[in-house]
Amino acid sequence: MMKKVKLYEIAHSRAGDKGEITNISLFPYAEEHYDLLREQVTARAVKSHFGDLVRGEVVRYEIPSIQGLNFVLYGTRMGGVSSALELDAHGKSLSFGLLEMEVDLTEAGNGYR
């Protein structure tokens, strides 16, 4: 049986901004979930998850020494923090947007948290 969970259940995340670009890091709570994140949380999947919240491309970097993934989202805030119209002009809340994404835990067992 498929076991789908929100990323929030197995990972934590932080967003940062530089101009119109947001970066979102992602780390599993349990080391054994890193490969699952690598396989399922691809740049393409993240771009599709955020839909029209990201106008440009999404690039992913892997940092295996700290079990990290870093997503760079181009075009999230027109004009950057200082002239964006959004209430969250920084885009700091977008990390919790990423954590709303679903992944399939079927292969990973039930050892999370």
Partner 1 sequence: MAALDLFESRLREESMRKRLRIGSGAGYAGDRIDPAVVLAEEGNIQYLCFECLAERTIAIAQMEKQADPGRGYGQFLEERMEAVLPRCARDGLVVVSNLGAANPPAALEKTFEIARSLGIGGVRIGAVTGDDVLEAVRSENTVVVETGGFVRDLGDRLISANAYLGADALLPALQAGCRVILAGRVADPSLFLAPMIHEHRWDLEDWHRLGAGTALGHLLECAAQVTGGYFADPGVKDVRDLENVGFPIAEIDDDGTGILTKVPGTGGAVNLGTCREQILYEVHDPASYLTPDVTADFSAIMLKDLGQDRVRITGATGRPRPETLKVSLGVRQGYLGEGEISYAGRGALARARLAGEIVSKRLERRGFRRSEVRVEYIGYNALLGFLAEASFSAPGDVRLRVAARAEKKREAERVGEEVENLYLNGPAGPGGARKTARPLIGIYSAHVPRDRVKPRLMIRDVP
Q: Alpha carbon of 39 to those of 14, 15, 32, 81, 83: distances in Å?
A: 20, 21, 13, 32, 36
39 binds partner 1 (CB under 8 A): no
Q: Which stretch, 37-45, 88-96, 104-112, contacts partner 1 (CB under 8 A)? A: 88-96
What angle (nearest 5°) sits at the alpha carbon of residue 13, between those of residues 12 and 14?
A: 145
Q: Alpha carbon of 113 to those of 8, 12, 86: distances in Å?
A: 11, 12, 34
Q: Which stretch, 7-15, 34-42, 103-111, contacts partner 1 (CB under 8 A)? A: 7-15
**Under the rule (CB under 8 A), what is the footprint of partner 1?**
8, 12-14, 16-19, 21, 23, 25, 27, 49-53, 59, 61, 63, 65-68, 70, 72, 79-83, 85-88, 92-94, 96-97, 100
